[in-house]
Structure formats: C-alpha cells, structure tokens
Amino acid sequence: QPLAGLMQKGSFHSVSDVIQRRADLAAVQTGLDEVGEKMTIEQGKADAARAKLKQPEDLKVVYDKAYDRTVSVPANTFREVLPQIKGTFSSGLKVADYVDAHKSQIDISGSTITVKDPVVQTELNKLLQELNEQGKNAQQAQSKLQSLMTGR
C-alpha cells in the first residue's frame, strides 16, 4: 500500500509537472528509500523466524516453496527494481533543478518549451532524454512488480 501511494504521488506527465511537483518527487524518493529499508528489516525478521521454525522434512519442502513465493521473491524483486524506479525520480529532480537554475533562458508554456540559449537547449535535451530513458526503465520495473503481484 505505501508503494502505490508513493508512485501515485510521484507520477508526472510533463516538464511542467516535474517543476511544479519537485517537492513531491523528492519526498517520493525518500519514501522509496524508507520502504526499501523497512522491507529489508522485515525480511530479516521473517528469515530469522523461519530459521528457528522446527518442521518435519516433508512439510519443510512445501513451506520453503510457499515462503519463497510470498516473502523472498517479492522482497528481492522489489529491491532489484528499486534503483530503476528511483532513477526516474532522480532524473526528474535533475530536470527541475536545471530548469530552475536557467529559468531566465527557459520558457515553459503548457507542453511547449522555448529555450533562448543553444547551450542550455543542448543540456536540457540531454536531461530530458535521460528522463525519458529512466521512465522506460521505471515502466519495466513497475510491470515486473505488477506481474509478480498478480501472478502473471
């Protein structure tokens, strides 16, 4: 549940969104770190409890498979895709900071961006391209998490 709320809070669709919601992006990035840390702690507790569990060998095989499917695989998958998701927010923050630092040379009106200085234009294009690539990575990561949750 916390992850879904964070992702919704951090969603953006335009450069204007990125700039206007910079604080949200920073908060989501911090929240993702906290979720990742908490997941690691909770998985450690669950692993410790599992290690202490005394079971007959035939039941242990079944329990191990269920534990992997419901605890280990989801937690490990989340930690695997977390850098991809965070990368999108990091790139968004770079764009917001760059536009803010060069606001006298950049005019944003709706989805139209006008840049007065060609050097600033080139750098902004690089940052936007990086953001676009990171966005694709985040979509793949979200798809992986979604398929894990739905079992497809």
How high is the pLDDT of residue 14?
Answer: 81
How high is the pLDDT of residue 9?
Answer: 62
How high is the pLDDT of residue 109?
Answer: 85
The sign of the torsion formed by the CA atoms of 139, 140, 141, 142 equals positive
Count other Cβ atoms within 10 Å, centred on residue 56. 8
How high is the pLDDT of residue 13?
Answer: 73
pLDDT along the chain (152 residues), means of 10: 62 82 90 92 96 93 94 92 91 95 91 91 96 90 84 72
Whole domain around residue 25: which residue ranges? 2-150
Q: What is the pTM of this model?
A: 0.79
Question: Whole-angstrom Cα distance, residue 84 to residue 141?
Answer: 7
Question: Whole-angstrom Cα distance, residue 70 to residue 151?
Answer: 11
How high is the pLDDT of residue 6?
Answer: 62
How high is the pLDDT of residue 34?
Answer: 92
- Fill in the DSSP letter of residue 14: S
Q: How many distinct structural domains can be found in the chain? A: 1
Strand residues in 37-88 grouped as ranges (E): none
